[in-house]
Amino acid sequence: MPVLTNPEPATVSLIPNETPVFVGLPEDPVVSIVLATYNEREHIANTINAIFAAMPVSTEVIVVDDNSPDETWRLAQELRHPRVKVIRRVGTRGLASAFNRGIIESRGKYVGWMDADMCMPPVMLPAMLDRLETVDVVIGSRYVEGAKDDRAPLRVYSSRLINGLATLVLGYGIRDYDSGFVLLRRSVFDSVTIIPTGYGAYFMEFIYNCCRKGLIVYEMPYTFRDRAVGVSKSAPNVFRFALTGSQYVARIFAARLRRID
């Protein structure tokens, strides 16, 4: 069963119509990491620096920002790092579509994506990369043995409830179906693509389809810590929990019933 110190800067020109222009970038990287951002000014520089500090191989970071009012995109651009691509999307919003756009722009042999708020530790990335020698997809998992979800009880409960349903309905032994923290071989996209709509449920569908295609998916435990600064955009209240929960449930069953080519 398939479960298992910045270099010299380059010039980065940002065009508001979603077309990035990059001048002076070095050769293709080995790894591409996509960060989808909206009002992450407090975290973006630390996250980018931590990714580069952690990675033992040539890496690029692609920031896809949905025109943040706090100008996250501008701060990322002002880093002027030759391995940072900044895409400011004006008039387009959505987590799944932002990750999908970043994947399209990526050049690495290995591609990953994660949150930009330091809740998902970049220090995990080298171990995830090493595991890709024997598997196709590595998920950073909060719910396998040795992992921990260190957020507020309501958020942990709601996440475990959704993931429990997904594990039951979708199967394959995946414990963290909506992780959103992943590193994979680029060849995975020859078989499976992201459905670029919605918030976290897109990831459930993506991982489920990877399993259905016979790709080897491995969950690596880590400790997910709540953000130290700012307010989570997914922090639940009663209304949001009901709305988001119903959307997740609908997409879980839709994924289970959908045929795959």
- Structural domains of the chain ordered from first start: 11-257 (3.90.550.10)
pLDDT at 21 over 60: no
Question: If you average pLDDT over residues 161-189, what whole number do you get?
Answer: 95
% of the chain exceeding 90 in pLDDT: 66
pLDDT in tens, 77-134: 999 999 999 999 998 889 999 999 999 999 999 999 999 999 999 999 999 999 999 9
Rounded Cα–Cα distance for residues 170 and 49 (Å): 36
pLDDT in tens, 106-120: 999 999 999 999 999
- Mean pLDDT, all residues of the chain: 85
pLDDT at 2 over 50: no
pLDDT in tens, 144-154: 999 999 988 88
DSSP string, the chain: --B----S--EEEEETBTEEEEES--SPPSEEEEEEESS-TTTHHHHHHHHHHH-SS-EEEEEEE---TT-HHHHHHHT--TTEEEEEBSS---HHHHHHHHHHH---SEEEEE-SSSSS-GGGHHHHHHHTTT-SEEEEESSSTT-EEES-HHHHHHHHHHHHHHHHHH-TT-S-TT---EEEEGGGGGT------SSSHHHHHHHHHHHHTT--EEEEE-EEE--SSS--TT---HHHHHHHHHHHHHHHHHHHHS---
Q: What is the pLDDT of residue 227?
A: 60
Q: What is the pLDDT of residue 158?
A: 85
Give the confidence band of 251 by pLDDT, cuts at 50, 70, 90: confident
Question: If you average pLDDT over residues 53-80, what whole number do you get?
Answer: 95
Give the confidence band of 240 by pLDDT, cuts at 50, 70, 90: low
